[in-house]
Amino acid sequence: MGQHGDPVVTAVLLCPGQGSQKVGMGRDLAERFPAARDTFAAVDEALGVPLSRLMWEGPEAELTRTQNAQPAILAHTCAVLAAVGPRLEPATALGHSLGEYSAWVGVGALSVVDAARLVRRRGELMAEAGERRAGAMAAVLMLDAGEVETACRMASVEGEVAVPANLNSPDQTVISGDPGAVARAGDFCKARGARRVVPLNVSGAFHSPLMAPAREGLELALAAVAFAAPRVPVVANATAAPVTDPAEAVRLLGEQLVAPVRWVESVRRAAADHPGLPFVEAGPGAVLTGLLKKIVPGAEALTLGTADEVERFLQA
């Protein structure tokens, strides 16, 4: 039981990543829940910019910039967690790319303000790496991940590289790398039976070797932050294995920049370790809930992103 005897929901916590941002995000939470409002204010103060105003009023082009989208999504997730408080008890947590930072907040290892500063810096470093060496990403639909990997290997020639970057679901893999190699890999994927290859609007080749220049700066930022022992494990993107050691968490967040997001394996690991528990996606949108249904058919899932959803959860 939580405070005042309220029932506690034990669940697998899912934290969304970049792409889930939209103008207006989180505003209803701030209006209805003081704890959420305080979270947005703390992030604004930590970053020294009115991020919440950008989240609520736009412009969209500015919100979509990597260095803004990342802390905005983290702030929204953390505002939801603040609003539901002890009524939600993670048994484990996992987050997609930047969502891994939100997951560490959710299990008590990282403060909201430290996490916000980290993902702001991470976004800046990733954008700089993208300016230094232009990259591209594309989603490959309805093709086995092994086939996608083969296509990327075939396309990586003449000093250009393409790699599987996000292993999102059994029928969706995002590839990343030099624009020429990504285009060739997309053609190879189509030839091998992919239904579609969809170019993504990104500022760099995320989760690929092209992000290597950003890694050193991120590792310096991570080293300056206090990581506590988490209450429960976080399943790391880079290994798809549960992590409880703070030093290991820091190391894997650095590695995550250049490593693929092993989302399918991560979700299956969480489901296997916690059979029968519901999954709760906290933050904007329902992208991870959609992927979950493909990865673990029949899994119980709940989204907590809007004030109405939080209200229903608290009253249930």
DSSP string, 253-300: HHHHTTS-B-HHHHHHHHHHHSTTPPEEEESSSSHHHHHHHHHSTT--
Burial 107-145, CB ≥16 within 10 A → b, else e: bebbbbbbbbbbbbbbbbbbbbbbeeeebbbbbbeebeb
What's the confidence (pLDDT) of residue 85? 96
Quickly state the pLDDT bin for 47 (edges 50, 70, 90): very high
Which pLDDT band holds residue 107 (cuts at 50, 70, 90)? very high
With 0-12 / 13-18 / 19 or more C-beta atoms within 10 angstroms meaning exposed / middle / buried, residue 201 is exposed
pLDDT at 201: 87
pLDDT band (50, 70, 90) for residue 316 = confident
Question: Which tens digits make up the pLDDT trace of 196-251?
Answer: 999 998 889 999 999 999 999 999 999 999 999 999 999 999 999 999 999 999 99
User: Which amino acids are annotated catalytic?
Assistant: 97, 207
Residue pLDDT, tens place only, 149-176:
999 999 999 999 999 999 999 999 999 9
The predicted pLDDT at position 147 comes to 97
pLDDT of residue 4: 53
* Cα torsion angle, 78, 83, 85, 89, sign: negative
Residues of the chain with CATH 3.30.70.250: 136-201
User: Of 3-7, 28-32, 55-59, 101-105, which gets the smallest average pLDDT?
Assistant: 3-7
For residue 203, the model assigns a pLDDT of 85
Q: What is the pLDDT of residue 91?
A: 98
d(Cα 244, Cα 273) in Å, to the nearest integer? Answer: 15
Instruction: Kindly tell me if the per-residue pLDDT of 3 is higher than 60.
Output: no
As a whole number, the mean pLDDT across the chain is: 96
- At residue 1, the pLDDT reads 44
pLDDT digits (tens, 9 = 90+) for 115-145: 999 999 999 999 999 999 999 999 999 999 9
| Per-residue pLDDT at 40 exceeds 70 | yes
Tens-place pLDDT, residues 14-33 = 999 998 999 999 999 999 99
Fold of 136-201: Alpha-Beta Plaits (3.30.70)
Instruction: Kindly tell me if the per-residue pLDDT of 2 is higher than 70.
Output: no
Predicted local confidence at residue 89, as pLDDT: 98
68, pLDDT greater than 80: yes
Phi, psi (5° rounding) for residue 174?
A: -95, 130
| Placement of tokens 């949108």 in the chain | 285
What's the pTM value of the predicted model, to 2 decimals? 0.96
Locate 71 and state its tokens: 């802390």
Backbone angles phi, psi at 167, to 5 degrees: -90, 80
pLDDT above 70 coverage of the chain, percent: 98
**DSSP run (H or E) holding 315:** helix 307-315
Rg (Cα) of the chain, in Å, rounded?
A: 19
Q: What is the mean pLDDT of residues 259-271?
A: 98
- Predicted local distance difference test score (pLDDT) of residue 5: 62
Pinpoint the residues of the chain covered by CATH 3.40.366.10: 3-131+210-315
**6 band by pLDDT with thresholds 50, 70 and 90:** confident
Report domain 3-131+210-315's class.
alpha beta
Q: What distances in angstroms separate CA 113 from CA 17, 34, 45, 144, one per listed residue?
A: 18, 17, 9, 39
CA 98 – CA 212 distance, rounded (Å): 16
Residues in the chain: 316
